[in-house]
Chain A
Amino acid sequence: MSFLTPIALPSLPTEVLEIILTHLSQPDLTQCVRVSHAWNKALVPYLWRTLAIHSRHSLKRFITNEAQQALRRNATFVRELHLVHKALYDKSLPCRKTLISDPGVMLLEVYTISLFTNLRALELEPVRLVRPNPEFDLEIFALVRQNPHLRRLLVNVKMDPKTLINLVTKHTPHLGDLDLVVSWRGDVKALLDCLPECIRTVRLRNVVHDAPSNAQGKTSDASDASTTLARHHHALESLHVAGNLAGKQEEVLVPFLESCSPKLKSVGGTGGGMGSYFFGNARIAKILSNLGIVCKELSQYTLPNNVSDADLAELIAANSEWTNIELYTRQVGPQAAAAIVECCEHLEALDIMHNGARGLSGFHLQAVLGKATKLRSLQAHWLLNTDKITAMNILSSQWATTSLEHMDLKIEVQRAIQASRSVQRQVLRRLGQQKKLRKLVIGGMTTDLATGEFVHQRDCLEMTLESGIDELVDLKNLEVLDIHHMDHRAGVPELEWMVANLPRLQILIGMLDTLRPPSDEVREWLSTHRPSWR
């Protein structure tokens, strides 16, 4: 350190200067480069590292003579290029003609952005959707070819499938991040299998798998022989695939996943309503489980359309850490039901709402209630038309959870027996112990077994003070109580009780659609005290 000359920022060692620069934004740098010759010389290369012009405002300033001349001088510093405006590309980035001769690409003269040869990152985005333009494809192709150090590629322009595959597999040996935003139709398997070994993240946001069908295990071209060599995608950390794999997710994903290492931490790809391909398939789920990736949420959207009971059971059993099982409209047969009970220890939400579950009975729900210590939500609204959850199911064992917030299921309680009110009270006491309960739905039509018609529940809770509604006194968080289409006997005293004891109750449903018409008393009470309750 000399005593005499003051230390100037531009003369700091590069590694130190770069640390300072990581805290400065590009706009900050535009001020810095005007400070002095020394500052200008040192900092212009850093200012020009990223060329990302997103607004018309910036674009206008970029197509000035001064900026264009500066571009020619400084293009060599550009490491990251976002091509957003085609106008930008056409009008203001100097091009030269080049010849493309590459296997798979016709011999063609194209204009390319000749200046950029140092790119590490390239983002291709249209402002408006651009129709597929083969020449534009080839220009991009040429641009990528002249930037062998490219590590990150985001493609949001329509591209010919073959061109894209050649692009990312043959000409970007250092590619670390591929983000394919635009909808792309092509051989997804080929795309994945040929990605460079050093790839770290892959995101295919909307692909449609379209490949000529091969004989089992054989590849179609002799020239693809090199791709049958096993590539180890040992650096892959994240894989997201969404779109339509035409039912071929095993064929497309399994070989690729088998080439990955435990560095793979994140997989997924919901979107476009097509769901994730990773956890809806038992074989794929198993491979992921071996890599340490465990799916916690099973939703009907992750399942193929006609999954059999045995397949569903296998899928559920492949993973014992489910926190959410939401099958809503899906059939749950006996094997799958048993699997749910087996794997429900970590379950927080179980949703088997819809009519059609055959094989999942009240006994299964009883078992889940006895095992799932973290259960917050249990929804089985239509489920138990035939196999109801009975008072006995509810009462026969302790519930493992005290965190229920949402319960939706019909409870069968014999009314004709002498002990009915005592049993009802006990059932309500059980419900009353779930102090976090916010939404309680025990109403809803049931099916007459003989006729198959929808009818009111008859063997149900009376919901009166004599039969134990006061056991719900601790449900201070209850916001919704639904007792519609039940033959309950709640009247004005019960309504008064609710107002006095359930301070948060905003929605009450079921006073006006009882088996017998509601009394005038009830109607009047409701209209004067709680018009929103019905």
Chain B
Amino acid sequence: MPVTLTSLDDVKFTVDKEVAERSILIKNMIEDVGESDSPIPLPNVSSAVLKKVIEYCEHHRNDPVQVQDETDDPRKRSNDIEEWDMKFMTVDQEMLFEIILAANYLDIKPLLDVGCKTVANIIKGKTPEEIRKVFNIVNDFTPEEEAQIKKENEWAEDR
């Protein structure tokens, strides 16, 4: 049973219902609307991003639905991203963040988790200068300010 999704820039994507329903938001919208042919508008997601999101959902269409676990260990491991997902997430940064925001909006928890883990993995182990380089961030601290901040938080550096 196909479902049509319309992106921010009016591009239409037709996908199987099963694929679309990996998004809890879309799933709920379908349930509310009932059997209908009208396309589902997604004004917050551009076509480029929606294409990637659909690609993810197609690949993971048969995954078991994750159960919301309130008592998850907050210190989750970052190293268990499967290979396909890792390749999928090899995109430029802007797209990476767009995917994360789209996954958040569309309520696709596994995609959100993978995206966040990917960002965390980029940050881990890097010095401030290396982080700036990777994210194209301008350093708006004076050297004195940065030294001050370092001293303020040094106690937390070793674990």
- Chain A residues within 8 Å of B, Cβ to Cβ: 1, 6-9, 12-13, 15-16, 19-37, 39-40, 47, 53, 55, 57-59, 61-62, 64, 66-67, 69-70
Q: Could you tell me the distance in whole angstroms from the C-beta of B21 to the nearest C-beta in chain A?
A: 22
Q: Mark B113-157, 1 if CB is under 8 A from A, else 0.
A: 100110111011111100110011111110000101111111111
B residues near A27, Cβ cutoff 8 Å: 156-159
B13: interface (CB < 8 Å): no
- Contact sample, A vs B, 28 pairs, CB 8 Å cutoff: A1-B8, A1-B45, A1-B46, A7-B97, A9-B97, A12-B101, A13-B101, A13-B104, A16-B104, A19-B112, A20-B119, A20-B123, A22-B76, A26-B159, A27-B159, A32-B123, A32-B131, A33-B153, A35-B131, A36-B139, A36-B141, A39-B137, A58-B155, A58-B156, A64-B151, A66-B151, A67-B153, A67-B155
Q: Is the CB of B119 within 8 A of A9?
A: yes
Q: How far is the CA of A12 from the CA of B143 in the complex (A)?
A: 27
Specify the chain B residue showing the minimal Cβ separation from A69: B152
Flag if A20 contacts B120 (CB, 8 Å).
Answer: yes
Enumerate chain B residues within 8 angstroms of A36, measured Cβ to Cβ: 132, 137-141
Q: A1-B101, A16-B101, A66-B152 are in contact. List 18 more A-B contacts (CB 8 A).
A: A8-B137, A9-B119, A12-B97, A16-B112, A22-B74, A23-B121, A24-B124, A27-B156, A28-B123, A31-B123, A32-B123, A34-B141, A34-B150, A35-B131, A36-B132, A58-B155, A59-B155, A67-B153
Q: Known interface pairs A23-B116, A27-B159. Does A7 touch B94 (Cβ–Cβ under 8 Å)? A: yes
B118: min CB distance to chain A, Å: 9
Task: Determine if B98 is an interface residue (Cβ-Cβ < 8 Å).
Answer: yes
A8 surroundings in chain B (CB, below 8 A): 135, 137
Task: Tell me the bound Cα distance from A490 to B132 in angstroms.
Answer: 81
Given A1-B45, A27-B158, A31-B127 in contact, is the A15-B104 Cβ separation under 8 Å? yes
Binding site for A on B (CB under 8 A): 8, 44-46, 49, 74-78, 93-94, 97-98, 100-102, 104, 112-113, 116-117, 119-121, 123-128, 131-132, 135-141, 146, 148-159
Please determine whether B78 and A23 come into contact, CB atoms closer than 8 angstroms.
yes
B81 to chain A, nearest CB (A): 11
User: Which B residues are in CB contact (< 8 Å) with A28?
Assistant: 123-125
* Distance between Cα atoms of A414 and B112 in the complex (Å): 77
Bound CA–CA A57/B158 (angstroms): 9
Q: Which residues of B contact A64 (CB under 8 A)?
A: 151, 154
Chain B contact residues: helix, strand, loop or mixed: helix
Chain B residues within 8 Å of A58, by CB: 155-156, 158
Nearest residue (CB) in B for A40 is B149
B40 to chain A, nearest CB (A): 18
A62's closest neighbor in chain B, by CB? B155
A30: which of B116, B136, B154 is its contact (CB, 8 Å)? B154
Distance from B62 Cβ to chain A, minimum over Cβ atoms (Å): 24
Main SS of the interface on chain A? helix
**Bound complex: CA A35 to CA B139 (Å):** 7
Partner of A70, one of B8, B132, B153: B153
B residues within 8 A CB of A62?
155
Do residues A20 and B94 form an inter-chain contact, with CB atoms below 8 A?
no
Compute how far the CA of A62 lies from the CA of B158 in the bound complex, rounded to whole angstroms. Answer: 12
CB pair B159–A25 under 8 Å, yes or no, is yes
Are B155 and A53 neighbours in the complex by a CB distance under 8 Å? yes
B121 CB contacts on chain A under 8 angstroms:
23
- State the CA gap A24–B131 with chains docked (Å): 14
Interface residue from B102, B125, B140, B153 paired with A47 (Cβ < 8 Å): B153
Least Cβ distance of A369 to chain B in Å? Answer: 45
Chain A: CB-nearest residue to B96: A7
A70 to B45, CA, bound (A): 41
Q: Judging by beta carbons under 8 Å apart, are A7 and B98 in contact?
A: yes
Chain A residues whose C-beta falls within 8 Å of the C-beta of B158 in the assembled complex: 27, 55, 57-58
Residues of A within 8 A of B117 (CB): 23
**Neighbour of B157 across the interface among A30, A59, A66, CB < 8 A:** A30
Q: Is the CB of A37 within 8 A of B120?
A: no
Q: Which residue of B lies closest to A7 (CB)?
A: B97
Give the residue name and chain of the A residue nearest to B159 (CB).
Answer: A27
Which chain A residues border B78 with CB–CB below 8 Å?
23
How long is the Cα–Cα vector from A61 to B154 in the complex, in angstroms? 6
**Sorted from nearest, which 8 A-B pairs have the closest CB atoms?**
A23-B120, A70-B152, A66-B151, A62-B155, A7-B97, A34-B128, A61-B155, A61-B154
Question: In the assembled complex, which residues on chain B have CB atoms less than 8 Å from the CB atom of A6?
Answer: 93-94, 136
Closest Cβ–Cβ distance, residue B109 to chain A (whole Å): 10
Residues from chain A with a CB closer than 8 A to the CB of B127 are 31
Chain A minimum-CB-distance residue to B78 = A23
Query: A19-B112, A36-B132 given as contacts; is B155 within 8 A of A24 (CB)?
Result: no
**Residues of chain A with a CB closer than 8 A to B140's CB:** 36-37
B24 to chain A, nearest CB (A): 14
Given contacts A6-B94, A12-B101, contact A37 B159 (CB under 8 A): no
Cα distance, A29 to B158, chains bound together (Å): 11
Query: Considering the chains assembled together, what is the distance between the CA atoms of A31 and B131 in angstroms?
Result: 9
Report whether B94 and A30 are in contact in the complex, using a CB–CB cutoff of 8 Å. Answer: no
In the bound complex, CA of A24 to CA of B127 (Å): 14
Q: Give Cα A67 to B93, complex, Å.
A: 34
* Chain B residues with CB below 8 A from A22, complex form: 74-76
The answer for the CA separation of A35 and B141 in the assembled complex, in Å, is: 8
The residues of A that contact B75 with a CB separation of less than 8 Å are 22
Q: Which residues of B contact A13 (CB under 8 A)?
A: 101, 104
Among A32, A35, A59: residue with most chain B CB under 10 A: A35
Residues of B near A30 (CB, < 8 A) are 150, 153-154, 156-157
Chain B residues within an 8 Å CB radius of A25: 124, 159
Nearest CB on B from A488, distance (A):
59
CA distance A30 to B155 in the complex (A): 9
Closest chain-A Cβ to B126's Cβ sits at a distance in Å of: 6
Quick one: given A19-B112, A25-B159, are A1 and B49 in contact (CB under 8 Å)? yes
Separation of A255 and B124 alpha carbons in the complex (Å) = 50
Q: Select from chain A the residue with minimum beta-carbon distance to B117.
A: A23
A34 — which chain B residues lie within 8 A by C-beta?
Answer: 128, 141, 146, 149-150
Q: How far is the CA of A34 from the CA of B141 in the complex (A)?
A: 8
